[in-house]
Amino acid sequence: MAKIGFIGLGIMGAPMARNLQAGGHTLFAYKRSGALPDELASGGATLCHSPKEVAQQAGIIITMLPDTPDVEAVLFGSDGIAEGLSAGKTVIDMSSIAPLPTKAFAAKIAALGCDYLDAPVSGGEVGAKAATLTIMAGGSQSAFDKVKPLFELMGKNITLVGDSGAGQTCKVANQIIVALTIEAVGEALLFASKAGADPARVREALMGGFASSRILEVHGERMIKRTFAPGFRIELHRKDLGLALEGAKALGVPLPSTALCQQLFNLCHAHDADQLDHSALVKALEVMANHTVA
């Protein structure tokens, strides 16, 4: 059994860490403040006092953090992971961050004699708890093969997409598709509701046709029932679309629909909805239509 370090015990990270622990592995975790979640503490996880200590104790170190600067600080800041590494260890970043800095992070970790994988995930809190996440990895085949049994404790659809940064590129593409689909479902249910149809029955009918999707199933229900507790927060999806648009600008690629969804997330941000689930994007459409899906 492996000694695994885990940094980032939020909505996604805590259940991911618990699934690794349930697989029989020894867990060393860092939390900036407070005690470990009860389920991890009761399972025997050790609370470390710095990312450096996590890296000293564990052979495989996983990060699950909100944004690129957070990952950089935990990796290379004072008492960071890099200070605690020794040759032969593996660092896996499962956050959703920018692809270009990811390549630089991988090079710096490789210079220390360690492997680095970027392995962002999709599937939300439900997938994290159920260990059914989609995991899209970037890095070497040998490093991927070494840690794949750990990925299998957290997810089901696990793919080595390519070299360092490829996992993050794939995650940005995923977030484009998810945002545009949430927007489409929101428009459809808003149209149906405004036209006088029962949006719940419209959703039920559409679930049996070509318009069916996981987002229509889960987030369509959220829109109708007004259950917007995250899940995956608007502020994080807004960040991810920012990464997409920054990358598109650098590549000279037009992403007009992505830009539209980002503006809708910006509207949600302006109305203090950052902490709601990203299905609450429908609220931006409702503001413009002066009508609520119900």
Q: Are 240 and 191 in contact (CB under 8 A)?
A: no
What per-residue confidence (pLDDT) applies to 161? 98
Q: Are 258 and 151 in contact (CB under 8 A)?
A: no
Query: How high does pLDDT run on average in the chain?
Result: 96
> Where residue 71 falls among pLDDT bands split at 50, 70, 90?
very high
Does residue 1 have a pLDDT over 90? no
Residues whose CB falls within 8 Å of the CB of residue 3, separated by 6 or more in sequence, listed in order: 25, 26, 28, 57, 58, 59, 60
- What is the CB-side half-sphere exposure of residue 181 using CA atoms within 13 A? 16
171 belongs to the catalytic site = yes
Strand, helix or coil for residue 98: coil
What per-residue confidence (pLDDT) applies to 113? 98
Q: Are 102 and 168 in contact (CB under 8 A)?
A: yes
What per-residue confidence (pLDDT) applies to 181? 98
Q: What is the CATH number of domain 3-162?
A: 3.40.50.720
How far apart CA 213 and CA 178 sit, in angstroms, is: 10
Residue ranges matching CATH 1.10.1040.10 in the chain = 170-289
Task: Centre a 10 Å sphere on the Cβ of residue 272 and count the other Cβ atoms it contains.
Answer: 8
Section 100-117 average pLDDT: 97
Q: Are 158 and 127 in contact (CB under 8 A)?
A: no
Q: Write the pLDDT tens digit of every residue in 10-30.
A: 999 999 999 999 999 999 999
Residue ranges matching CATH 3.40.50.720 in the chain = 3-162
Q: What is the CATH number of domain 170-289?
A: 1.10.1040.10
What per-residue confidence (pLDDT) applies to 59? 98
Does residue 124 have a pLDDT over 90? no
Residue found by looking up tokens 């960071």 in the block: 80
Classify residue 40 as exposed, middle or buried by CB count within 10 Å of its CB (0-12, 13-18, 19+). buried
What per-residue confidence (pLDDT) applies to 32? 86
What per-residue confidence (pLDDT) applies to 5? 98
Q: Are 15 and 128 in contact (CB under 8 A)?
A: yes
What per-residue confidence (pLDDT) applies to 33? 83
How far apart CA 163 and CA 89 sit, in angstroms, is: 18
Q: Write the pLDDT tens digit of every residue in 138-182.
A: 999 999 999 999 999 999 999 999 999 999 999 999 999 999 999
User: Secondary structure of 99-144 in the HEC alphabet?
Assistant: HHHHHHHHHHHHCCCCEEEECCEECHHHHHHHCCEEEEEECCHHHH
How far apart CA 221 and CA 234 sit, in angstroms, is: 17
Q: Write the pLDDT tens digit of every residue in 28-55.
A: 999 988 789 999 999 999 999 999 999 9
Does residue 231 have a pLDDT over 90? no
Strand-pairing partners, residue 242, are none
Residue of 31, 52, 103, 171 with catalytic role: 171
Q: How far apart are the first and last CA of the chain?
A: 50
Strand, helix or coil for residue 256: helix
Q: Write the pLDDT tens digit of every residue in 180-224.
A: 999 999 999 999 999 999 999 999 999 999 999 999 999 999 999
Strand, helix or coil for residue 275: coil
- Run of H or E residues at 219: helix 214-225
Strand-pairing partners, residue 10, are none
What per-residue confidence (pLDDT) applies to 35? 85
Q: Which tokens is 93 given?
A: 């970043």
Classify residue 225 as exposed, middle or buried by CB count within 10 Å of its CB (0-12, 13-18, 19+). exposed
Residues whose CB falls within 8 Å of the CB of residue 33, separated by 6 or more in sequence, listed in order: none
